[in-house]
Structure 1
Amino acid sequence: MPLSISLIVNGEQKDIALEDPRATLLDVLRDRIGLTGTKKGCDRGQCGACTVLIDGRRINSCLSLAASQDGAEITTIEGLAAGDDLHPVQAAFIETDGFQCGYCTPGQIMSALGLIREGIADDDPERIREAMSGNICRCAAYQGITEAVIKANARMRDTQESQS
């Protein structure tokens, strides 16, 4: 028996009929909606490659049933840039070489954005590394990732202050 859910994905409403109520949010995003930026790494919640924001909070989409997110607002890597204008976190990752092969980068960026919005990020590299510890980079680009979070956090803070 199909189950219908409604998601707001990157600002657009998506009505989806699920044939299997056990479908993960990751599989729905990739296979049903066509947003392949969110990566399937371990499929066990251990690598963070599938990190997205649900109602502004970081989650591993491979561990979340799509049906349990009915009505949720989901932001994926595809929802960050505005045309050619990169989000400050994306730009900081490029400027600091916060990636090598790039496979984990979408999850790293989404996790970084989440921790900045949660107010966890500051200028303490150790605190950032701890907050990002659920996102694994097999290429070991951690120095650049940490620098990117610090840079993006400062830019986003400065932007908020200038708008106040």
Structure 2
Amino acid sequence: MPVPKKLLIIAHAPSENTTRMVDAVVNGATNPEITDVDVIFKPPLDTQPEDILTAQAVIIGTTENLGYMAGLIKDVFDRCYYPCLEKTQGLPFTFYIRAGHDGTGTRRAIESITTGLRWRLVTDPLICRGEFQEEFITQCEELGLTMAASLEAGII
């Protein structure tokens, strides 16, 4: 039996709706038809370099805060950047943003840091803009499912 691949989800969820979003990502990624992927959710403060170093793919979830990523997500990058720099090149990842405005600055910041890490963005980021909509939950579930299924199939 093959060793399951690890999909790490790191998400900042400070509200009921953002908690629902990360729960949807996890729900999609843990679809019962996907059997060879272990899905690990870590809040930012619990995420350590070892978590990233042992993952075969990552999903990052953040709120847009003053046109930037959440401080706790930035903290993950600050703590994990150098320990992961030379060891995670090519790591498949994607991200989602709960953006009250347009998410542009947040997207640019995440892409800048992950470009420095030489991670590989494997799906378009999901940017959930404006007032909260129920469709964000469906989109998050689809994002989790897509990443887990792609990881299991060896596409990413």
TM-score higher than 0.5: no
Larger radius of gyration between Structure 1 and Structure 2: 1
The structure in which a higher percent of residues are strand is 2
